Amino acid sequence: MTIAQEIKQEDLVAAKAYVDEVYELVKKRNPGESEFHQAVKEIFDSLIPVFAKHPKYKENAILERISEPERIITFRVPWMDDEGKVQVNRGFRVQFNSAIGPYKGGLRFHPSVNASIIKFLGFEQIFKNSLTGQWIGGGKGGSDFDPKGKSDAEVMRFTQSFMTELNKYIGPDEDVPAGDIGVGGREIGFMFGQYKRIRGGYPAGVLTGKGVGYGGSLARTEATGYGCVYFVNEMLQDQGMSFKDSTVVVSGSGNVSIYAIKKAQELGAKVVACSDSNGYIYDKNGIDLKTVVQLKEVERKRIKEYLKAHPHAEYFEGCEGIWTIPCDIALPCATQNEINEESAKILVANGVKAIGEGANMPSTLEAIEVFLNNKVLFGPAKAANAGGVATSALEMVQNSMRLSWTFEEVDAKLHEIMKNIYRNSVRAANEYGYPGNLVVGSNIAGFIRVADAMLAQGVI
Ligand code: GLU
């Protein structure tokens, strides 16, 4: 008998009422924070059968506690631009949950960053990190600073000012930030330098995503994109399908997208499109990744310039249109809510078979509904993009042990972790009566590990 068969109907009804009640409380306590509400709603709805089965979680107010961050830090980040003008940005760090390890999660530098964005990301991170099976809690941070068009010197002055405040709250055993949108190797390098200068010693484990020459892990750069493709590959293989000869659309052209494209191509797929925040390119011959890497990682230019090297390709302004390109597999790797209900319907009408969310929360709740109702294989972000943070945790392990594993060793561990996440999510979905629904499966599997740790640690 599965857990689902043991659950009584009246307990399900009561659990739903309870979950709805706590959700209303979260909305009231965090007014106007729509992204945070959306992330909470997705998790909460998945947990109804868990609350119906296990009264201990309600009795101990796990839901009320898990949706309230342990701590939120906001701070002023003043810095001087190249013209000598003083600029002021806002810095954030949300230390959401430390039940299973030090807070862990990236820093995002993007003009859209506000409390709602950081809280949704931090909340997601709790369950994602739990799914990896490693000892990492959930946190997230960032700033509304826009790195686009800034000189290296401006980025350095900003990140140094940011770390001058943030350093007070982080540490290798306390809170370990990493990158996210707008924060890559350059920014992590500057921030590590400033942290080390202020705090002394060589606290390598305070940040992950460091350069491999000074404590970073091999394969960390590739990990989120590779991990996403490994995860989708598991979903496909379970249904007798594969990446080979499939047509793939990948949104974005940052770190996640680039390595998702690379791995998908290695597995025999033809990736025909990618994008940046201005628009997208369509190359029917298959994207030339070298050109994308040169443009985005070396020259820091717009994706439109791809056409200079490949005049046969096409460029379209705006981002949503990328989902009108017929494909077998779609990998949204750009940003939150980039696939809405309408785009999801177009993808389905064009015969999409699988979605792997490389970005955080790239599909709206309505879009997810469309995919699940149409039996599209759907790899939700918490599971499909967990490879990045999982490899960050492997970087922390190497820093603690003062040794470095080879690329192959780290990649093999990452691959195994992604397979485990897939298996655990499938199992939880089956047990709780939602076969094939990896949204429910990953949310439940991620939740139970954290909730049990919270129970064990008492009311804190
Ligand atoms: N920003 C990434 C994420 O969303 C990575 C976080 C990390 O490595 O700590 O999971």
Per-residue pLDDT tens for 105-116?
999 999 999 999
Nearest CA to ligand 1 atom 9: 105
- Give yes or no: residues 363 and 236 share one domain: yes
Residue 91 Cβ inside 6 Å of ligand 1? The answer reads: no
- Give yes or no: residues 295 and 364 share one domain: yes
Nearest CA to ligand 1 atom 5: 389
- Domain holding 109, by residue range, is 71-212
b/e sequence 102-119, b meaning 16+ C-beta within 10 Å = bbbbbbbbbeebbbbbbb
Predicted confidence band of residue 330 (pLDDT cuts 50, 70, 90): very high
- Give yes or no: residues 237 and 329 share one domain: yes
Across the range 156-182, mean pLDDT stands at 98
Predicted confidence band of residue 1 (pLDDT cuts 50, 70, 90): confident
Domain annotation covers residue 396: no
Domain annotation covers residue 180: yes
Alpha-carbon torsion (124, 130, 134, 139), positive or negative: positive
Q: What local confidence, expressed as pLDDT, does residue 448 receive?
A: 98
Predicted confidence band of residue 155 (pLDDT cuts 50, 70, 90): very high
Distance 433 CA to ligand 1 centre (A): 30
Could you tell me if 386 and 360 are in contact, meaning their C-beta atoms sit under 8 angstroms apart? no
Nearest to 166 by CA among 138, 198, 144: 198
- Give yes or no: residues 56 and 78 share one domain: no
- Give yes or no: residues 202 and 227 share one domain: no
Domain annotation covers residue 14: yes
Q: What local confidence, expressed as pLDDT, does residue 340 receive?
A: 98
Nearest to 323 by CA among 285, 379, 371, 268: 371
Domain annotation covers residue 431: no
- Total domain count, the chain: 3
Distance 318 CA to ligand 1 centre (A): 26
- The mean pLDDT value of the chain amounts to 98
Separation of CA 47 from chain center: 20
Across the range 224-243, mean pLDDT stands at 98
Whether 413 is a known active-site residue: answer no
Residue 437 Cβ inside 6 Å of ligand 1? The answer reads: no
Could you tell me if 282 and 306 are in contact, meaning their C-beta atoms sit under 8 angstroms apart? no
- Give yes or no: residues 270 and 341 share one domain: yes
Distance 178 CA to ligand 1 centre (A): 6
Across the range 48-63, mean pLDDT stands at 98
We report the CATH number of the domain holding residue 347 as 3.40.50.720
Residue 392 Cβ inside 6 Å of ligand 1? The answer reads: yes
Across the range 168-187, mean pLDDT stands at 98
Domain annotation covers residue 444: no
The per-residue pLDDT for range 278-292, each reduced to its tens digit, is 999 999 999 999 999
Across the range 230-256, mean pLDDT stands at 98
- Give yes or no: residues 251 and 328 share one domain: yes
- Among 212, 241, 259, the domain-final residue is 212
- Give yes or no: residues 22 and 129 share one domain: no
Domain annotation covers residue 438: no
Q: What local confidence, expressed as pLDDT, does residue 188 receive?
A: 98
Flag whether pLDDT at 269 surpasses 90.
Answer: yes
- Give yes or no: residues 46 and 130 share one domain: no
pTM above 0.95, yes or no: yes
* Residue of 140, 196, 210, 262 marked active site: 140
Nearest CA to ligand 1 atom 10: 389
- Among 165, 184, 212, the domain-final residue is 212
Residue 104 Cβ inside 6 Å of ligand 1? The answer reads: yes
The per-residue pLDDT for range 391-446, each reduced to its tens digit, is 999 999 999 999 999 999 999 999 999 999 999 999 999 999 999 999 999 999 99
Pocket test for ligand 1, best of 120, 207, 392, 421 (most atoms within 8 A of CB): 392
Enclosing H/E stretch for 88: strand 86-97
- Give yes or no: residues 60 and 139 share one domain: no
Flag whether pLDDT at 73 surpasses 90.
Answer: yes
- Give yes or no: residues 95 and 184 share one domain: yes
